[in-house]
A and B are shown apart, each in its own frame.
Chain A
Amino acid sequence: MKKQVCFLLVFVTLMGMAVACRPVTATPTPAGPRTLVLMSHDSFAVSEDVIAEFEAAHNAKVQFLPSGDAGSALNKAILSKENPLADVFFGVDNTFLSRALQADIFETYKPQGLENIPDALELDAEYRLVPVDYGDVCLNYDKAYFEEKGLTPPQNLEDLTKPEFKGLTVVENPATSSPGLSFLLATIGHFGESGDYTYLDFWRDMRANDVLVTEGWEDAYWSQSTWAGGGERSIVVSYATSPAAEVYFSEGKLSEPPTDNVLGDGACFRQIEFVGILKGTKNRDLAEAFVDFMLGKRFQEDIPLQMWVFPANEKAALPQVFLDFAEAPEHPAVVSPEAIAQNREAWIEAWTEVVLR
């Protein structure tokens, strides 16, 4: 009976393993399609038919390897550089660009279609990382709340420290959150580190004005916001496309977003996302073809509704909901990737000191 129990357990275990293994043990036969592995952060998304098109054109199979948030995915790619996990890596943004380049994990490749991408987005002169999309981290505010109270909504960063907006803002912790760091960078780009009124002075005033700090975007948006979370904060650091997403994901109930963006000068920070070919790939030609494909119209036009960011390719047509409701600030704050890499820790620590301690 002991044996029977053991046998039963081992049997169940083996059966389960067999089932669980099936998808990966399917090694391609020599004549069959080659496999290209794409490593990315968890927010990566793409349409099935777009990928199917690439697979058919190149007799390939694309395998996805979502590997956590942007920071952890990149760290995993760096740690595994002796024996890379994938051929192509998508999702390095400009806040991590320098770390990625210093780690020397990408091969140089100048893809086709780069001429359709604005120069302002190209941050690596050696083409180890090329831009795929961009999106702006902005403040969203609850339109109904300000209408009800008869308040003028905030127009820029300076407004947030006014007494009438006391206790209304929630931001994410830059030490743990990507939009949180981006918003801190916006304030650094806008107010600067020296002068009469530095970014730290702004944050001191924000603290006095009862700013709430959460760990990540999910908590800020889903638990604290007045429109999505039943919280009591009507100004939330989110993305400039969030109002459009609110309409899109309302099952047709909303014809207009419940929220709007604060688009004043330097109030937003532009995140640019890059793709690169990982050193050590055994499928360099296929990887090149995939990077070309990512910059092409077909893939680029799929980006907005899948990932809620703007395509880097200027020729790509935008979906209607983007044309109607997605805004991009004219003058986002600018901080160079080198400066970010150099000062990330010091800025976060200074911010923590001023806002949290």
Chain B
Amino acid sequence: MSERPGERHIIKSAVRLLPLVFLTVFFFYPLLAIFRLSLAPQGHLDPAALSKLVSTTYYARTLWFTTWQAAASTLLTVVLALPGAYVFARYRFPGKNLLQALTTIPFVMPTIVVAAAFNALLGPRGRLNLTLMALLRLQHPPINLQHTIWIILLAHVFYNYTVVLRIVGGFWANLNPRLEEAARVLGADRWRVLWQVTLPLLAPALVAAALLVFIFCFTSFGVILILGGPRFATLEVEIYRQTMNLFNLPLAATLSLAQIALTLLMTSVYTRLQARTGRPLKLHPRQTTQRRPATWRERALVGGNVVFMAALLLTPLLALAERSLWTGSGYALTNYSELFVNRRGSVFFVPPAEAVRNSLIFAILTVGLALVLGIISAYLLADRESRLNRWLDPIFMLPLGTSAVTLGFGYIIALDRPPLNLRTSPLLIPLAHTLVAFPFVVRAVLPVLRGIHPHLRESASVLGASPARVWREVDLPIVGRALLVGAVFAFTISMGEFGATSLIARPQIPTMPVAIYRFLGQPGALNYGQALAMSTLLMLVCAVGFLGIERFRYGGAGEF
């Protein structure tokens, strides 16, 4: 190695700038372009289009609803998922990996398909109501969740449970159980241990997961529109209506700015909290922190949570899979075999293998890009000496809180000339996915990175290890797990077709969700059956993907 120190420094700086360059080109630039066009097409602001903002209380009420439903959804998700995270962190039990993979599948399911599944289970003629009516001899369905706030909250828990489970559970697994045991020995009761020892230690991961869930629910779209029904609207829903149906771009842009401002505010609060809660810890390999449940109490705890997860997350998915096999008169694979037949010779027919391949290519690209950008960003943020962090951290989270409609339009007007003529390039799809995915990598990695005790690295250096070797033998083994968590989410986000990609003009490279929507667009039992068959395939491909990512071991990564 004959690199000169100066050269090395330049390379280092260039690498550090990568996430910011990426954000500037694929986020801020298109966003500014659409805001400028929307708010000041002739170079000055036209207040007439915004008069509606102040003339009615509707938008203020929408903002309020957006905020409180997100807060309620987040609280509910955290409270319900925390016991599960504990069980996954502390115990080994058969089927654990599979269950963990399955709990993440909701994240990729198209809302319209989930709505159908919820309806089949909880609707007025759903299984639950029919069973209760038969049992209790009732005339009318006792449970009516359709188009209520309850179904919105339930769906948000359904989608986001896995975020808390994986991010908090992953972090928890590396915490030393001795600390809690010591507190017990010293006479603290269970609740006091939880409150004064466990939660403070968990705080970095807990707040990170809560922030992600909050932003997701804050910008919730499909769940609100389809399950919540027309009486509920979040800012995102209103931005969509104003943009697509009324083409009122000034109003849409203003609402979009409000949404971004609130996301900034939330993440700034979070950054402060994080700075206070993050502390170097003695992280332990999970082999030493996990055991089999021994007492009946522990078994009940594990069993109870497994049953809860199965009921909440798996029954809707199973209902879909079952329905995909139903042909009207019995069970068969007709819907699946029909997927392979282009009966009408359509140009837009999607062979299943092609849809799977396209989805996987986009997902792998997204994982690669998101990991590279996410790791660099996390290291930038973990540097305690840098004052820039307070600003950088919220900026890295912004893409999550930005309206997909707005950004999609921004792409169309901004990325239209060489060298960035990407409007119709398939590359735009993984790039847009990465924008949403890399904040997940950052959030998953950062708590662990900050938890690495500086002494570990110092000792390694003192003992003569090169910086590269320190990274390889200290950082990587400890961060590896969190990286895999980040990779799972990046994969998921891409497979599930998040946000802007459905709004950019796309060439004919159909993915699995695109194929599902195509089937659902026309009436007829066969179309519905094929949509469910494709949905079931999507679940299977994702489950295999998750298991594959979790098994990934490179050097020491992932063992910890």
Contact = CB atoms under 8 A, between A and B. Distances in A.
Interface of A: 1-3, 5-6, 9-10, 12-13, 16-17, 19-21, 23-24, 39, 42-49, 51, 63-69, 71-72, 75-76, 78-80, 83, 85, 99, 173, 175-176, 212-216, 218-219, 221-224, 228-232, 238-239, 242, 245-246, 248-251, 253, 305-306, 308, 344-345, 348, 352, 356
B363 to A, nearest CB: 9
Given A13-B365, A24-B425, A230-B119, A66 B508 contact: yes
Contacts of A223: 115-116, 119, 123
A76 B247 CA distance: 11
Interface in B501-526: 502-503, 505-509, 517-518, 520-526
Contact of A306 (B329, B346, B423): B346
Given A19-B361, A80-B416, A66 B372 contact: no
Interface stretch (B226-234, B263-271, B310-318): B226-234
A98 to B, nearest CB: 11
Contact of A20 (B371, B430, B508): B430
Closest 6 A-B residue pairs measured CB to CB? A249-B524, A249-B526, A13-B368, A16-B365, A215-B225, A245-B523
Q: Which of A44, A76, A352 has the most CB of B within 10 A?
A: A76
B545 interface: no
Interface string B10-39: 000000000000000000000000000100
B331 interface: no
22 contacts: A3-B468, A10-B368, A20-B362, A24-B426, A46-B346, A47-B344, A48-B346, A63-B508, A65-B505, A69-B244, A176-B225, A219-B115, A230-B119, A230-B120, A231-B124, A248-B524, A249-B526, A251-B338, A251-B526, A306-B344, A352-B230, A356-B230
A16 B505 contact: no
A150 to B, nearest CB: 20
Contacts of B372: 6, 9-10, 13
A16 B490 CA distance: 15
A68 B524 contact: no
A85 B369 contact: no
A256 B348 CA distance: 28
Contacts of B368: 9-10, 12-13, 16
Contacts of A42: 517-518, 521
B507 A65 contact: yes
A46 B210 CA distance: 46
Nearest to B233: A175
A224 B125 CA distance: 10
Chain B, interface residues (CB within 8 Å), range? 35 or more
A228 to B, nearest CB: 6
B178 interface: no
Given A238-B523, A250-B525, A80 B413 contact: yes
Interface in B310-347: 327-329, 334, 338, 342, 344-347
B245 interface: yes
Contacts of B361: 16, 19-20
Given A9-B371, A51-B347, A66 B506 contact: yes
A176 B241 contact: yes
A112 B119 CA distance: 50
B519 to A, nearest CB: 10
B7 to A, nearest CB: 15
